């Protein structure tokens, strides 16, 4: 299995290289050269299997010869062993034909654990075999960073540095990053917003001298290994409500477009998905773009669903790449225009995008109202991101086609917003009840590339 860059000029890599690299050297994102197919019979055979067994069958063809069958089976088993629910990704019914896919039973209570725990195990196996040590640097709007730190803490072959926007993440998110005691993890509170954190991260990857000196590796949502891990639960969920014998739709609370893009990959593999609905909060650049209004950056407005507060949605580049018939130069041009503020999508590309994706947005008031109404009618306490999804899903439901909304985080990760809306404070699960008592360790850093580089060089383990 070979991986190519969306900008067309970076080297073609295998799965292991694409995963360890993250961002391609031409600034693009790696995608598989061809998408493996699963036929109706292959999909039907997933019914009744464990999450791990489905994960193995869905992901195996993408990995190629990088891991042996036994190695890959072991990686998957270790990745999901620490989840707090036997089904890993249980489905609960909200209403006739509307289901909630609970993706928050991992160690940091957000869906990012599905990908990060798997990547941690894959890095460990691949780097151990190579006898190499890498420096992982990530930027987070809250959940990626805690998931990364949880996945890599104490592993022998990595240092992890996570940049987060100072003062703009929830206390639970911050504490999950600042309380691990292992010396290979480093939380960095940067002065700036999430887009600025992402921009400095990109700058570090584009500084090839630094990149090579510290063996920089990325695990942000652009990492192909992460997208791949997320493809699995589209299959497990769809099969449990009737696929491949009937089509299913999904609504996905979206920021960086990684999670919903995994749904698109599932569809391209052969899963009968009717609609993939992008749900945004008031930072609705993707909703506007998918409605044909172009992609134009504005200011990021902080919301009660902070993990979706973005203007530059990195993985959208992968969707554009396919919509533009996989022409690298077209993507290079769009991304240049984006640096200057934004771009228009061509008519042909817009048609392709709209054939796969629908979209909607939820205001702050609508999000809070949905938390309250879902609790009243179903007993389910939603986190604000999941509530954005449920609200938008309601607008896209069609009789006869099950709608599955992804619940991306546990309500206890955003207790203030949930309490305000539902007048109940969601408690942390017992296994992390002492989070508020643990000591914190964090470095405050400026929004400055050179300062960040010297901080990282100075704080790596030998
Ligand atoms: C990361 C995140 C999202 C957005 O996911 P993308 O893959 O970036 O689109 C939504 N909800 C929560 C809780 C998240 O942590």
pLDDT for position 148: 95
Asked whether 108 lines ligand 1 (CB < 6 A), one says: no
pLDDT for position 198: 87
Q: In degrees, to the nearest 5, what angle opens at C-alpha 29 toward C-alphas 27 and 30? A: 130
Atom of ligand 1 nearest to the CA of 259: 7
Asked whether 259 lines ligand 1 (CB < 6 A), one says: yes
Residue 370 to residue 390: CA distance in whole angstroms: 7
- Measured in degrees and rounded to the nearest 5, phi and psi for residue 145 equal -65, -45
Would residue 449 count as lying in a domain?
no
Would residue 29 count as lying in a domain?
no
Residue 230 to residue 144: CA distance in whole angstroms: 14
Would residue 34 count as lying in a domain?
no
The pLDDT tens digits for 76-112 are: 999 999 999 999 999 999 999 999 999 999 999 999 9
Q: Return the CA Rg of the chain.
A: 20
Torsion of CA 227, 14, 353, 221, to 10 degrees: 30
Q: Whose CA is nearest to atom 15 of ligand 1?
A: 143
pLDDT above 70: residue 383:
yes
Residue 434 to residue 432: CA distance in whole angstroms: 6
pLDDT for position 409: 96
Residue 323 to residue 349: CA distance in whole angstroms: 5
CA of residue 134 to ligand 1 center, whole Å: 26
Asked whether 98 lines ligand 1 (CB < 6 A), one says: no
What is this structure's pTM? 0.94
Distances (CA, A) of 284 to 126, 289, 308, 387: 39, 9, 9, 15
Provide the pLDDT confidence category of residue 143 given band limits of 50, 70 and 90: confident
Q: Is 291 known to be catalytic?
A: no
Domain extent, residue 393, equals: 91-106+224-422
Q: What is the DSSP string of 138-193?
A: EE-SSHHHHHHHHHHTT-TTEEEEEEEETT-S-HHHHHHHH----TTEEEEEESS-
pLDDT above 80: residue 9:
yes
Residue 436 to residue 304: CA distance in whole angstroms: 21
CA of residue 279 to ligand 1 center, whole Å: 11
CA of residue 65 to ligand 1 center, whole Å: 31
Would residue 320 count as lying in a domain?
yes
Strand partners, 403: 98, 249
Asked whether 114 lines ligand 1 (CB < 6 A), one says: no
Would residue 151 count as lying in a domain?
no
pLDDT for position 462: 57
pLDDT for position 23: 84
CA of residue 253 to ligand 1 center, whole Å: 7
Would residue 159 count as lying in a domain?
no
How, if at all, do strands 403-407 and 98-102 pair? parallel
Residue 316 to residue 22: CA distance in whole angstroms: 15
**What is the number of structural domains in the chain?**
1
Residue 68 to residue 348: CA distance in whole angstroms: 42
Asked whether 220 lines ligand 1 (CB < 6 A), one says: no
The pLDDT tens digits for 114-135 are: 999 999 999 999 999 999 999 9
Q: Which residue from 104, 141, 143, 367 has its CB within 8 A of the most atoms of ligand 1, so it is best to mutate?
A: 143
Would residue 2 count as lying in a domain?
no
Atom of ligand 1 nearest to the CA of 254: 9
pLDDT for position 94: 97
Mapping DSSP to helix (H, G, I), strand (E, B) and coil, where does residue 407 land? strand
Asked whether 253 lines ligand 1 (CB < 6 A), one says: yes
pLDDT for position 221: 82
The pLDDT tens digits for 294-337 are: 999 999 899 999 989 989 999 999 999 999 999 999 999 999 99
Atom of ligand 1 nearest to the CA of 258: 7
- Maximum CA extent, the chain: 60
Would residue 18 count as lying in a domain?
no
pLDDT for position 432: 85
Asked whether 32 lines ligand 1 (CB < 6 A), one says: no
Q: Which two tokens mark 18?
A: 């694409």
pLDDT above 90: residue 374:
yes
Terminal alpha carbon distance of the chain: 35
Q: Which residue from 308, 383, 386 has its CB within 8 A of the most atoms of ligand 1, so it is best to mutate?
A: 308
CATH number at residue 284: 3.40.50.1100
The per-residue pLDDT of the chain, averaged, comes to 95
The pLDDT tens digits for 211-243 are: 999 999 988 888 999 999 999 999 999 999 999
The pLDDT tens digits for 272-292 are: 999 999 999 999 999 999 999
Asked whether 385 lines ligand 1 (CB < 6 A), one says: yes
């Amino acid at each position: 299995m070979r991986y190519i860059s969306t900008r067309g000029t970076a080297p073609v890599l295998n799965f292991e290289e694409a995963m360890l690299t993250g961002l391609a050297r031409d600034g693009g994102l790696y995608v598989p050269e061809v998408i493996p197919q699963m036929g109706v019979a292959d999909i039907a055979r997933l019914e009744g299997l464990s999450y791990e067994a489905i994960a193995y069958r869905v992901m195996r063809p993408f990995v190629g010869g990088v891991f042996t069958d036994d190695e890959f089976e072991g990686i998957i088993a270790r990745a999901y062993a620490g989840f707090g629910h036997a089904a890993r990704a249980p489905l609960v019914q909200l209403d006739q034909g509307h289901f909630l896919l609970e993706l928050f039973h991992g160690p940091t209570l957000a869906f990012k654990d599905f990908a990060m725990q798997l990547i941690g195990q894959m890095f460990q196996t691949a780097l151990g075999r190579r006898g190499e040590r890498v420096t992982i640097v990530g930027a987070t709007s809250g959940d990626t960073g805690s998931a990364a730190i949880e996945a890599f803490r104490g592993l022998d072959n990595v240092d992890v540095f996570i940049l987060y926007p100072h003062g703009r993440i929830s206390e639970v998110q911050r504490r999950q990053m600042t309380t691990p005691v292992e010396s290979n993890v480093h939380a960095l509170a940067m002065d700036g917003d999430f887009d600025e954190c992402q921009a400095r991260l990109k700058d570090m990857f584009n500084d090839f001298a630094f990149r090579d000196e510290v063996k920089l590796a990325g695990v942000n949502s652009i990492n192909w290994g992460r997208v791949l891990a997320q493809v699995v639960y589209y299959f497990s969920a769809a099969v449990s409500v009737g696929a491949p014998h009937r089509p299913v739709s999904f609504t996905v609370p979206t920021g960086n477009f990684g999670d919903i893009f995994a749904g698109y990959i599932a569809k391209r593999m052969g899963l009968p998905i009717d609609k993939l609905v992008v749900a945004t909060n008031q930072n609705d650049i993707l909703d506007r773009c998918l409605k044909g209004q172009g992609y134009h950056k504005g200011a990021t407005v902080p919301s009660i669903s902070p993990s979706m507060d973005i203007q530059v949605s990195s993985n959208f580049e992968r969707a554009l790449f396919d919509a533009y018939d996989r022409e690298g130069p077209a993507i290079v041009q769009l991304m240049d225009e984006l640096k200057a503020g934004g771009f228009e999508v061509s008519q042909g590309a817009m048609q392709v995008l709209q054939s796969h994706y629908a979209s909607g947005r939820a205001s702050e008031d609508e999000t809070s109202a949905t938390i309250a109404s879902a609790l009243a009618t179903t007993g389910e306490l939603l986190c604000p991101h999941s509530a954005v999804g449920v609200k938008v899903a309601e607008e896209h439901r069609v009789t006869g086609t099950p709608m599955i909304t992804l619940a991306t985080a546990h309500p206890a990760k955003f207790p203030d917003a949930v309490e305000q809306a539902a007048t109940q404070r969601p408690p942390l699960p017992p296994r992390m009840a002492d989070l508020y008592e643990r000591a914190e360790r964090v470095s405050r850093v400026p929004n400055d590339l050179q300062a960040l580089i010297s901080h990282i060089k100075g704080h790596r383990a030998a």
